[in-house]
Structure 1
Amino acid sequence: MNLSKSSSQVGGRIVGLFFLVVGFFIFLTLFPYIDRQSIVITKSEKLKAMPLIVDTRKSEKSGIKAEKVLQPLSKPKTEPKSICDFSAYRTDICVMKGDIRIHGNSSLVLFAPNNPNEVAASDLNKTWVVKPYARKNDGTMATIRNVTLKSFARLEKAPRCTTNHSVAAVIFSDWGYCGNYWHDFNDVLVPLFITTRKFNGEVQFLVTQKRDWFFSKYQPIISGLSKYEVIDFDKEQQVHCYPKAILSLYQHKDFSIDPAKPPYGLSMVSFTKFIREKYSLEKDFAVQIGENPWRKPRLLIIGRKHTRVLTNIDKVISMAEELGFEVVVDDLNRGPYVQEAARVVNPCDVMMGVHGAGLTNIVFLPMNAVVIQIVPLGKLNQLFYDEFGVPSRDMNLKYLQYEILEEESTLIDLYPRDDPIFTDPMSIHKRGWLELSRVYLQQQNVKLDLVRFRPVLEKAMNFLRQ
């Protein structure tokens, strides 16, 4: 009885092993012809599977029916773009692509998109009025000429083109505060770089309220951004037609660029590199004392002559030389000859000065140089940091801010120490910019406390040792 049962179990195991071996060989034969299942996932869909097209045709080799993923049914639709953006704090801007006709003398831009579906339906047959200057909400905007933009589905009754262009157009004003060196860069030149650098010169500037001196003074920058003649927008009687146009200029922050904002990817490092190239400046990096111990770092002191004068500059020079600096003093006021100022600044490793437009010349410094801003009395510390401190760091420069005490201000010779000028500066602020400027920027000179200021120069020297 036990012998029979044992023989039966052995026979069953042999039969099972036989079918297992046969099944394995069948699997090896068919495996190459079986398509594995695929799932298409996109980040934009937050890991949800997209719809699939299934191919149910038979495999040519095996005759086995297989399911095969080909492609998504359709791409996600992009939302139509608005022509104009009025949401930014610093500027309003309109971007167009299609049939664009510009009649400067009447301050009119007519626009019809190549494909109306690419533009928000609410933006067709609409009119905008734009002041193309990058100081939105500032009082000076009242002096900026309006430019009217009208959009249509088609330009059937528009004036005919008298001049056709194959490049982009950018319309802006160089009025407002232009003429002040810092505002030239902050309000026009940096925004112009942000807006037009991507065109690699294939762009034409149409300028309302055009000042000829501006384009002469900054010719290396202007010609570096555009290969074409600048058009005086207000005097132009012709109808100029373009395939692309931008009305006004992008601006991100004071005297600087935010790479995370449109049109993306630019920075103040790329701007200053561009500036050094266009002005043929040779020095790209400040001296590193550790690698060049025999070289004295060059310190440039901005010697203001009329307001915010450094009254004990001779003693400051002596102290700086004692610390190991080679000192250069220059007011950097070259009028229209910007290149001359650039050639003074670029060889320097440290620049220092009392707050003023002369510090705008930091754009010519080599990378890793040091900027020292001396801030006079007046509770203007944050404003002046925003104007030169943030840009310095964005340019990959080292920055030091020295805020003077009452004893270092010549205002103590003009007003009693219990005057609100000293005890309550914010009350002077409330009187408006003109009064604030008169007191703290026009009347004030600076006499540095050498003992207090010495560590600042030592810190600058240490930066160059790193």
Structure 2
Amino acid sequence: MSLPWYSLRGYTGNFFHDFNDGIIPLFITIHSVFSENQEFVLVISKARDWWVRKYADLLQTFSKHPIINLDNDSSAHCFTSATIGLVSHGFMTINPKLLPNSQTLIHFRSFLDRAYGRHRGENHATTVNSLKRRPRLVLMSRSGGVGRVILNQIQVKRIAEKIGFDVTIFEPTANTPLWQAYAVINSSHAMVGVHGRAMGLEYMEYRIEVEESSLVDKYDKNSLMLKDPIAFQGKKWSNDIMSIYLKEQNVRLDLARFREYLKNAYKKAKKFVDKGDSD
């Protein structure tokens, strides 16, 4: 029996980076190395206990065998071979041309459904919403001084509803079960959030203008920090710079400009809903 082994010492704890830097590359690695029916044991190291508990359902879906955590396992294990490290295809990407079985993000979504879909009946709101004909939009909310808060969130919600969306405001916490987050997002047709990307959905990027950043209240709006963040940070992404952009900064969306993005998203989502109704 073989084993894939990877370390979790990197930037884990952030949902986006956990998937972009860990879970998706692990999915790619397993489908690159092992055949469909080949048995293997997943071995991890440098993982915090809370992280393992958080992703237990997901990690266990990779293999029918118990996960080995080298940080608290002193037993001797014998395997015929080992694959150490992860394979990545880039930013939130699964390239089917680089995989022997041509797996895509659609297959990854099916994998998530195997891990978390069994909880579907536990989310009553999702069941009720699924009966509606309006496209569903999830507005990812943040609060508590964590930064990247949409300051005019209520106005954004109202505009989205006027356009035709059924809007759900979702504010996950550190204790939110992943199956619950998956149920909410998986039942939606569109999602709005600051610095995020939805897997299996078309990504529409909205770049805020200087006046939409709360940093304009603290720093000169003509400063390089606001006019050209890439030039300001250079090649060094220091903790101080990260704190400014990710912790200090909130956004107040230009409602007139953002409305056009929502209209475009609604047209795409409505086509999807109508297609589902006709099937």
TM over 0.5: yes
**Pairing 1:43-442 to 2, within 5 Å after superposition:** 167-197=1-31, 198-200=35-37, 202-234=39-71, 236-263=73-100, 265-280=102-117, 295-305=133-143, 306-335=146-175, 337-355=177-195, 359=196, 362-363=198-199, 395=200, 397-430=201-234, 432-434=236-238, 435-442=240-247
Identity %: 33
Q: Take 2:64 and 2:85, find their aligned partners in 1: how far apart are those partners? A: 19
Q: Take 1:188 and 1:427, find their aligned partners in 2: how far apart are those partners? A: 29
Counterpart in 1 of 2:125?
none
The 3 A distance-change label for structure 1 pair 410 and 462 is same
8 A Cα contact 2:134 2:270, kept in partner = no
Counterpart in 1 of 2:274?
none
Counterpart in 2 of 1:285?
none
Mapped pair 1:461 → 2:266 = yes
8 A Cα contact 2:42 2:67, kept in partner = yes
Deviation at 1:252, TM superposition (A): 1.5
Q: Take 1:249 and 1:422, find their aligned partners in 2: how far apart are those partners? A: 36
The letter of the residue matching 1:442 is K
8 A Cα contact 1:207 1:231, kept in partner = yes
Deviations 1:130-160 (A, max 9, x none): xxxxxxxxxxxxxxxxxxxxxxxxxxxxxxx
Deviations 1:329-379 (A, max 9, x none): 112235362112112222211111111xxx36x34xxxxxxxxxxxxxxxx
TM-score with structure 1 setting the length: 0.51
8 A Cα contact 1:196 1:203, kept in partner = no
The 3 A distance-change label for structure 1 pair 199 and 236 is farther
C-alpha RMSD of the superposition: 2.5
Deviation at 1:420, TM superposition (A): 2.1
8 A Cα contact 1:334 1:341, kept in partner = no
Deviation at 1:429, TM superposition (A): 1.2
Q: Take 2:83 and 2:212, find their aligned partners in 1: how far apart are those partners? A: 49
SS at structure 2 position matched to 1:399: coil
Counterpart in 2 of 1:137?
none
TM-score with structure 2 setting the length: 0.82
The 3 A distance-change label for structure 1 pair 169 and 199 is farther
State the structure with more CA Rg. Answer: 1
8 A Cα contact 2:139 2:167, kept in partner = yes
SS at structure 1 position matched to 2:23: helix
The 3 A distance-change label for structure 1 pair 199 and 246 is farther
Deviation at 1:200, TM superposition (A): 4.3
SS at structure 2 position matched to 1:351: strand
SS at structure 1 position matched to 2:65: coil
Identify, as 1 or 2, the structure richer in strand.
Answer: 1
Deviations 1:197-223 (A, max 9, x none): 435472112222243322321122212
8 A Cα contact 2:210 2:227, kept in partner = no
The 3 A distance-change label for structure 1 pair 234 and 278 is closer
Deviation at 1:328, TM superposition (A): 0.8
Counterpart in 1 of 2:277?
none
8 A Cα contact 1:409 1:444, kept in partner = yes
Identify, as 1 or 2, the structure richer in helix.
Answer: 2
Number of residues of Structure 1 aligned to a counterpart in Structure 2:
255
8 A Cα contact 1:398 1:463, kept in partner = no
Q: Which runs of 5+ in 2 are unaligned?
A: 121-129, 272-279
The letter of the residue matching 2:175 is G
8 A Cα contact 2:149 2:251, kept in partner = yes
